[in-house]
Structure 1
């Protein structure tokens, strides 16, 4: 292990995480295609939500950035550059390039809007005639992951700001007639416990995917999780070294998937059937259709294919649609089961016992042979 790796805080390896396949799949697909729109993870306390997200950030490869740039600007893509870097590019000035790990920014619950969006120093702007901008968390999260734990307890106004930036890819700060705009392209990951309250439907709809996770019931699996955690706590470096080959293999798989994604095609008939499912479920707007299309292409790319299959759609459609259904407080039927049922009807597939809500994660098939990790 290199000195640089040893100096970094050791994080529990992503490939060592047992179970919670639905959450892992949703996170990986958003890394392959950030335009899916982020993930909302709802589940019981102590089910490894934060551990998994930190593990994902640690797994991701290094990216090229403009050296000493507060926005992690891309060295050659103007859409991912701050103003200073873009001016250098337009003037033909040589841009210094550095490599850095993809950033994961943790948004604290008590964060103010200034802390999130950044602030403009009006006094400096007036006295020196320069746009003195103090970047916030959105600037730091550009081209990375923004993680909001207990998102359902966050102020609705702040959630709006985050979702707007995630959707547009830009953050604009205006004060006293001075306006600053910088790129803010990030994968937004929110987590929460449903017992502590739900997000408003219009905010929930803005998350691309919604993963539900539950406490593992099987005693043998619980023992395995406890033993792994104990091994990691006793000797983090040794434990991480053991999983290094799987970590590198998955990292390479993600890089290849990102390269392959633009080549992935989906038959017109499949696209029509996705929209038919959305229509039958009475999903408001077209976000459900768009996200399901993107996610199906991302899972095909993840498995090294350029053609989307019906099975690809089956594995992602519940994640993409379950949080967009209109809730009837008196209805006991799980929304995931309703999506599976509509999918089976439209695609002409006989629903199996595996399509019950509690089996959806296993049906996703992550962690089996054939190019997927354990």
Structure 2
């Protein structure tokens, strides 16, 4: 187990977040298997959405990349010529990049390096946020308020896994594969269906429902703000344990058994709730496999599918004007009707 060094700049620890188990589980599952897709976290303000994402890097294993490479290419041979990659391969933290609201397209995709163009007369590429996020995470707070042209751009990149910049005399392409994490308040607007479909898991969060939980949230936050170093020392071992669990699960993932019964269970559930397309089944499979690996199990069981079903399917249900129940309630009802 590796314990992260204590730093005054480190964010609130992941393990110290009170409650919100579904949100924490969803983020951990994408750390085990990024192919699950992104995580959408919708809910009230002040429920730990941003806190959880910004605490995630402490739980992510490092990646191997060419030293100095702007897109974190695994080797110098794979790095673009403009990336600044050296020959050595080094370990670096998994990137977790914020995409702020109101950011420009040039900042997201990258653009002409104006300073070099003016001072040296060179046409050079300045990498953007998509380059920084390659092989890591791209986080968008208030994702439902994102401008349409940025949404269109993200949809193109999410589908192709590549960022292409063709303007200002530039013709640049580079890999841009990342786990997309978005958070927001549903009262401020819904997400475009095309972007919603790109998230593998969708999580609903709410304010703590009991006095005890609310008191514990305040107690921990107050302790963090009063003496950050002491608080981080107290919780660093638990974050280290969680990180070790992610690494063990990654190593075990390829050996997790996938019985036909589990595949049939996933298909039956998606048909029962009327999930659009087949992404529901694929997400259920990948997430259940990652959950089994995280729990140290050798194969996927129905219990894993039941656990992950609300997160994998709640944003894939067709609207039913005759059913006033929310999507989560519809999934829970389907689970009961199918399996008791």
Would the TM-score normalized by the shorter structure come out above 0.5?
yes
SS at match of 2:63: strand
SS at match of 2:314: helix
Aligned residue number for residue 188 of structure 2: 196
Matches within 5 A, 1:1-374: 5-6=5-6, 9-75=9-75, 81-84=78-81, 95-120=87-112, 132-175=124-167, 178-328=170-320, 331-346=323-338, 349-350=339-340
Return 276-285 or 246-255, whichever deviates more. 276-285
Unaligned runs of 5+ in 2: none
Q: Aligned equivalents of 1:28 and 1:18: distance in 2?
A: 16
Aligned residues between the structures = 336
Q: Aligned equivalents of 1:311 and 1:85: distance in 2?
A: 49
The alignment's TM-score, normalised by the length of structure 1, stands at: 0.83
The alignment's TM-score, normalised by the length of structure 2, stands at: 0.91
Aligned pair in 2 of structure 1 residues 57, 123: CA closer, same or farther (>3 Å)? closer
Q: Aligned equivalents of 1:179 and 1:201: distance in 2?
A: 31
Q: Aligned equivalents of 2:168 and 2:216: distance in 1?
A: 58
Q: Aligned equivalents of 2:62 and 2:337: distance in 1?
A: 44
SS at match of 2:180: strand
Q: Aligned equivalents of 1:311 and 1:31: distance in 2?
A: 21
List per-residue Cα deviations over 1:91-110 (Å, max 9, x = no partner): xxx82122222221111100
Q: Aligned equivalents of 1:343 and 1:32: distance in 2?
A: 26
Q: Aligned equivalents of 2:236 and 2:5: distance in 1?
A: 12
List per-residue Cα deviations over 1:76-127 (Å, max 9, x = no partner): 8x7xx432399x9xxxxx82122222221111100111110111459989xx
Q: Cα RMSD (Å) of the superposition?
A: 2.6
- Aligned residues of 1:26 and 1:209 also touching (Cα < 8 A): yes
Unaligned runs of 5+ in 1: 89-93, 351-374
Return 15-24 or 174-183, whichever deviates more. 174-183
Aligned pair in 2 of structure 1 residues 199, 330: CA closer, same or farther (>3 Å)? farther
Q: Aligned equivalents of 1:342 and 1:268: distance in 2?
A: 20
SS at match of 1:254: helix
